[in-house]
Amino acid sequence: MTDAVTVTDLVVDRGARRVLPGLSCAVPAARVTGLLGPSGSGKSTLMRAVVGVQRIRSGRVTVLGEPAGSPALRSRVGYVTQAPSVYADLTVRENARYFAALYGRGARAADAAIADVGLREAAGQLVGDLSGGQRGRASLACALVGEPELLVLDEPTVGLDPVLRVELWDRFAALAAAGTTLVVSSHVMDEAGRCDRLLLLREGELLSDSTPARLRADTGTDDLEEAFLRLVRARQQEVAA
Amino acid sequence: MTTALSPRLTGATTGRVLRQLRHDPRTIAMLTVLPGLLLGLLYLLWRDVPTPPGQEPVFDRIGLTMLGIFPFVVMFLVTSIAMLRERTSGTLERLLTTPLSRLDLLLGYGTAFGTAAAVQALVTVGLATTLYDLDVAGSLWLVVLIAVVDAVLGVALGLLASAFATSEFQAVQFMPVVVLPQFFLCGLLVPREQMAGWLQAISDVLPLTYAVEALQEVGTSAIATGTMWRDVGIVAGVAVLALSLAAGTLRRRTS
């Protein structure tokens, strides 16, 4: 299995705080990799580094064989920020068509992306008039529309009802099966089970690089939330010893 | 800095900004008719003031100059707020991860608001020459052209100023900082040759001075003069310079 993203000794400071103190990890191609950890653990910072908008202190981030953020990657990587970053004063369709144009796609691709996130009925509505969850999906559609090889999604399921959440995770699985690499962050542990690979972050450190099955076996529990807690406690004992 | 320009991506951005405007009819109405109404107020102000024999009516001089100042001020404000919104909503960061280059984005804004300014100028010049009896010796199309170039200058300076503002409160206060000194020193309030030497020197390096001079040339000469074309060139040049500087302030990587 080849890696779509490799991170080597990544150090990132934000203000006076060291957010990532020297992180190394890899993201396998054509899989859904979950980036999990409590808020403030460095998930968003790592994602920003992968898409090339984070100023880094040292270390290396390689994406699809190129340095993160290089111009050649801009049509191959899609990024959805935690807060929906779409134009509130445009309709869903106008937003999707603008981003489609930026990726060299047409109106048909825009309509398909809108249907993919379940917003077909709301396509003509202004984004500013949508609910929080719908806004997030509009933002997602604007990344899907470019059919990128790597999709970086920061907490895409926040504020979604359980049905929609399941549908989106099905959609992520289908994209991975078709060859897209996905990096999805979440602080909801029950979503971890839907990932092919799990990177558990805590205070900027990689606590575990595993799969849901392996994590369950290693920690002796079926509950991934409990597994994470056991890992944290084991790590604390390690540091104390 | 990415300088790879793509007319297609610039065009898509122009279309997007104009579509945003279209969803805001009140802004369109204000952009279109407000300068014309304000000019009407100036017309009424001087209508009953007698003109000394042999002199140009005051409104002909001031009204004409205002045709260049309105688009500059309005577009400066509108653009600096629009760009600030782009920064604070996260859409700017997102755009910088797409194939859109920074100059595409800025030129997209320039073209969109330049188009809006052209509509504004047509309406204002139309009102001025019909209802307000504004007398212009030269071609009205040249007046419109100068108004549009002034608007593009306002857009470019607005884009640049927005880089130094972190809130809307700050952004609107850049308007008096950037606009008023240029307005005071452009030669409208006090003829430039009557200014103190050092004020004249400052006036010499402010772009609005040349915009005003270009309009005065059109106002008094039936044919387009060399001075007018030189002035238009200077204003356009400063606009291009400000756009390039603004592109430099768009950082792809932030901390």
- Encode pLDDT of A84-141 as tens digits: 899 999 999 999 999 999 999 999 999 999 998 889 999 999 999 999 889 999 999 9
What is the rounded average pLDDT of the residues A130-155? 93
pLDDT value of position A54: 93
CB atoms closer than 10 angstroms to residue A189? 19
- Average per-residue pLDDT in chain B? 91
CB atoms closer than 10 angstroms to residue B193? 7
The helix or strand, by DSSP H or E, that contains position A186, with its residue range, turns out to be strand A181-186
What is the rounded average pLDDT of the residues B201-211? 95
What the block records as the tokens of A88 is 């509130």
Distance, CA of B61 to CA of B67 (rounded, Å): 10
Query: Which residues 96-135 of chain A have a CB within 8 Å of chain B?
Result: 98-99, 101-104, 126
CB atoms closer than 10 angstroms to residue A68? 24
Residues B100, A102: C-beta atoms closer than 8 Å: yes
Assign 3-class secondary structure to B28-93. HHHHHHHHHHHHHHHHHHHHCCCCCCCCCCHHHHHHHHHHHHHHHHHHHHHHHHHHHHHHHCCHHH
pLDDT value of position A238: 84
Does position B2 have pLDDT exceeding 60, yes or no?
A: no
Q: Which residue of A has its CA nearest to B11?
A: A101
pLDDT value of position A226: 87
ipTM: 0.88
The 3-state DSSP class for residue A196 equals: coil
Per-residue pLDDT band at B1 (split at 50, 70, 90): very low
pLDDT value of position A38: 84
- Report the amino acid identity of residue B32: T
Per-residue pLDDT band at A67 (split at 50, 70, 90): very high
CB B237 within 8 A of CB B219: no
Give the range among A22-36, A40-54, A132-146, A157-171 with minimum mean pLDDT.
A157-171
pLDDT value of position B3: 52
Q: What residues pair up with A33 in beta bridges, in sequence order?
A: A183, A197
pLDDT value of position A186: 87
pLDDT value of position B252: 81
Per-residue pLDDT band at A224 (split at 50, 70, 90): confident
| Higher-scoring residue by pLDDT: A145, A133 | A145
This prediction's pTM: 0.89
Q: How many CB pairs under 8 A join A and B?
A: 79
pLDDT value of position A1: 61
Residues B99, A104: C-beta atoms closer than 8 Å: yes
Distance, CA of A184 to CA of A69 (rounded, Å): 18
* Tens digits of residue pLDDT in B12-59: 999 999 999 999 999 999 999 999 999 999 999 988 888 888 888 888
Residues A52, B98: C-beta atoms closer than 8 Å: no
b/e B15-39 (16+ beta carbons within 10 angstroms → b): bbbebbbebeeeeeeebeeebbeeb
* Tens digits of residue pLDDT in B68-79: 999 999 999 999
> Which one of B19, B97, B99 has the shortest CB-CB distance to A90?
B19
What is the rounded average pLDDT of the residues A25-54? 93
